């Protein structure tokens, strides 16, 4: 359960029959919560992580799968992160910077612009 307003903190106590199935995540801007919802952290299967990373980053950047210029660049960076040993959305920015083209740098800058928001 994702609990952004900390309203469900007592569910484990009030629902004992399913308490073993409940994991409550309360989101705050605390440093310790950084990356808590990163798809590479929350998904067990790397392919599922990759799919969710694509969904998140295309939503945030507005890059459509029909964008023949930008989508393949973003997709390639996400795939490289998925295939690496150290995974995370911040690594996608690094991969885009390694590509070192004007378009990949622009996409990296766009994604990086979200990193200091409380919701990121």
Question: Residue 50 in contact with residue 76, Cβ under 8 Å?
Answer: no
Enter the DSSP assignment of 114: T
In the chain, pLDDT over 70 holds for what percent of residues? Answer: 88
3-state helix, strand, coil in the chain (%, to 5): 55, 0, 40
Yes or no: say if 93 and 108 are a contact pair by the CB < 8 Å rule: yes
On average, the pLDDT of the chain sits at 88
Q: How far is CA 86 from each of CA 56, 68, 70, 101, rounded to the nearest angstrom?
A: 19, 28, 24, 23
Alpha carbon distance 9, 5 (integer Å): 10
Mean pLDDT within 27-37? 75
Tell me the whole-structure pTM to 2 decimals.
0.77
How is the chain split into domains, by residue range?
A: 1-33, 35-112
Would the pLDDT of 87 be above 60?
yes
Q: How far apart are CA 77 and CA 49, in angstroms?
A: 13
Model confidence at 120, pLDDT cuts 50, 70, 90, reads: very low
Mean pLDDT of 69-98: 97
Burial class (CB in 10 A: 0-12, 13-18, 19+), 74: buried
């Amino acid at each position: 359960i994702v609990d952004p307003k900390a309203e469900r903190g007592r569910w484990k106590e009030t629902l004992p029959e399913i308490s073993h199935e409940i994991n409550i995540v309360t989101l705050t801007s605390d440093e310790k919560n950084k990356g808590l919802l990163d798809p590479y952290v929350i998904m067990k299967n790397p392919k599922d992580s990759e799919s969710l990373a694509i969904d998140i980053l295309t939503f945030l950047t507005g890059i459509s799968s029909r964008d023949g210029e930008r989508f393949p660049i973003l997709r390639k960076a996400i795939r490289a992160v998925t295939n690496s040993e150290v995974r995370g959305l911040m690594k996608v920015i690094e991969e885009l910077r390694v590509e070192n083209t004007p378009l990949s740098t622009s996409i990296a800058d766009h994604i990086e612009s979200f990193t200091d928001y409380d919701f990121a």
